[in-house]
Amino acid sequence: MAKINEDIERVFFTEEEIKEKVAELGAEISRDFEGKNPIFIGVLKGCWVFMADLMRNVSIPCSVDFMAVKSYAGTTSTGAVQIQKDLNESIEGRHIIMVEDILDTGRTLNYLEQYLSARKPASITIATLMDKPSRRQAPVAARYSCFAVPDAFVVGYGLDYNEFYRNLPYIGVLKPEIYMD
Ligand code: 5GP
């Protein structure tokens, strides 16, 4: 029976490393947003594993909503951001924390920041699991980031390659032959 971890060439971040960083981030956000009742907005689908773990490390009152966007096909950016699911609740006057799996070119969050600003939130803050600063094309800065990563296409812990590997409990890169298939 094929196992997904057999397709991994190198592990970037182990389950233990991720758990520790996510716990630290949850504690930091809880301190910084004390008394502000923020709304966490997850950008699907990549955020879901990270967000589920992050939220259980946040100890202040907060709410949660999701957006779904599409900006990638395979490992290359299409350049366009398409909203597939919008928010369910109003964000007017609310402190927003956008939760992303990985900040790459920054186009997605740059677009979403502008899109959501029009709804007059009190503030917009970005929390990303990973950041690839060398790839940035749009002016976006994450206030919170767990890991900086080099220019490599990573999978696992919610991140996919053509919709697979999201269920890998750690983050790594695939063997080159997998990307070539
Ligand atoms: P950006 O708009 O910042 O270029 O792209 C952000 C989105 O691209 C992420 O939310 C993620 O879905 C996807 N992405 C960027 N880099 C990677 C990567 O290394 N691995 C995976 N699986 N997705 C990525």
| pLDDT for the residue numbered 70 | 83
Output the six-digit token pair for 57: 């490390």
* Consecutive H or E run containing 38: none
| pLDDT for the residue numbered 74 | 56
| pLDDT for the residue numbered 81 | 84
| pLDDT for the residue numbered 112 | 94
131 in contact with ligand 1, CB cutoff 6 A: no
158 in contact with ligand 1, CB cutoff 6 A: no
The Å distance, Cα 35 to ligand 1 centre, comes to 32
CA–centroid distance for 97 within its chain: 11
DSSP state, 125?
A: E
**Pairwise CA distance, residues 112 & 13, whole Å:** 27
8 A C-beta contact, residue 102 and residue 128: yes
Tell which atom from ligand 1 comes closest to the C-alpha of 160. 22
103 in contact with ligand 1, CB cutoff 6 A: yes
Provide the residue count of the chain.
Answer: 181
Output the six-digit token pair for 82: 């398409």
| pLDDT for the residue numbered 179 | 84
| pLDDT for the residue numbered 14 | 98
**Pairwise CA distance, residues 4 & 49, whole Å:** 17
Closest alpha carbon to 62 in 41, 76, 81 = 41
Tell which atom from ligand 1 comes closest to the C-alpha of 135. 4
| pLDDT for the residue numbered 72 | 58
Q: Is 131 a catalytic site residue?
A: no
**Pairwise CA distance, residues 54 & 129, whole Å:** 10
**What pTM was computed for the model?**
0.93
159 in contact with ligand 1, CB cutoff 6 A: yes
| Residue spans of the chain under pLDDT 70 | 72-79, 181
Tell which atom from ligand 1 comes closest to the C-alpha of 100. 10
**In sequence order, what are the residues at sequence separation of 6 or more whose Cβ sits closer than 8 angstroms to the Cβ of residue 128?**
99, 100, 101, 102, 103, 142, 144, 145, 146
DSSP state, 66?
A: E
3-state SS assignment for residue 37: coil
